Structure 1
Amino acid sequence: MRPSVLVGAVSVRGASMAPTLRDGDACLVWWGRAPRPGDVVVARLPAGRGLGVKRVAFGDQDGGWWLRSDNVGVGTDSAAFGMIDTADVLGRVVLRYWPRPAWFRNSA
C-alpha cells in the first residue's frame, strides 16, 4: 500500500547509512517515486525488519532492487535478504533537513 500523501518525513535510526545519513537525521521523502540506481530510498524490508533507509545499487529485469548500506558491515541490506520488490520501495529521500540540510541527487 502506498502512502496517500506525496511527501513526508522520516527520522533515520542507526548507523547503516553513515556518513551520508546519521542516527537522528530528519529527511524529506517523495513517496511513490520510482527508484533509480544511486538513489537513497525508504523501503519495506523483508522478514519483519520494518522500514529501512538504504541506497539502490541496481535493479533487475523482474522489477527487483538490490539495496545496500553506505556504511559497509553495519546494518542489514540486500546482502542478507536479497532483492526487494518494486512495491516495497516506498519512496526516494530527496532532502535531509535536520541537522545538516542537504539535497540528495542520484549519485550513480
Structure 2
Amino acid sequence: MTLESRMPVRRVTVRGASMAPALAGGDVVLATCGTPRPGDVVLVTWPSRPGQLSVKRAIRPAGYLWHVEGDFAEASTDSRHLGPAKVHAVVRWRLWPKPGRIQPRRSA
C-alpha cells in the first residue's frame, strides 16, 4: 500500500505491543479518512520514517502534524522519540479477533 493512494478505507494489521491494552499485535483494524481528534487511534508516518506506517493515539495537534503516543509507553516508539507525525487515517473498527468499534480516549 502506498501512502500517496487516497483510499477512503484501509485494513491494517497491528504489530507489536505499543497500543496495549486497546490493541494487540495481530489485531486487524479498519482506518478511514477523517479529521483526528485528541484521543483517537490513528494511522501515522513520521518525516524521518516516511515508509513506516504506525498505529498510535493522537494526543494533540502540532502545527500540520500531530503528537502521537502508544498506549503502552514502555513498548512504543512515538512522538516522544521521533517528533510530530503525519496522520493519514483514523482507526475506527477492529475487524479481528474481537470485532467492534475502537473507542477514543477522551480527557475529562
Instruction: Tell me the TM-score normalised to structure 1 length.
Output: 0.86
Paired positions, count: 103
Aligned-pair identity in percent equals: 37
Matches within 5 A, 1:1-108: 2-30=4-32, 32-48=33-49, 50-60=52-62, 62-84=63-85, 88-108=86-106
Distance in 1, matches of 2:52 and 2:41, equals: 17
Give 1:97 shift. 1.0
Q: How far did residue 106 of structure 1 move?
A: 2.8
TM-score (norm 2): 0.86
Q: What is the deviation of 1:24?
A: 0.3
- Separation in structure 2 between the aligned mates of residue 72 and residue 102 of structure 1, nearest angstrom: 24
Q: List per-residue Cα deviations over 1:29-67 (Å, max 9, x = no partner).
A: 10x31111000000013423711000001113x223110
Structure 1 segments unaligned to the other structure (5+ residues)? none
1:2 shift after superposition: 4.4
Displacement after TM superposition at 1:25 (Å): 0.2
Aligned residue type for 2:23: L
Q: CA RMSD in A?
A: 1.6
- Write the distance in 2 (CA, Å) between the matches of 1:20 and 1:105: 9
TM-superposed deviation, 1:71: 0.5
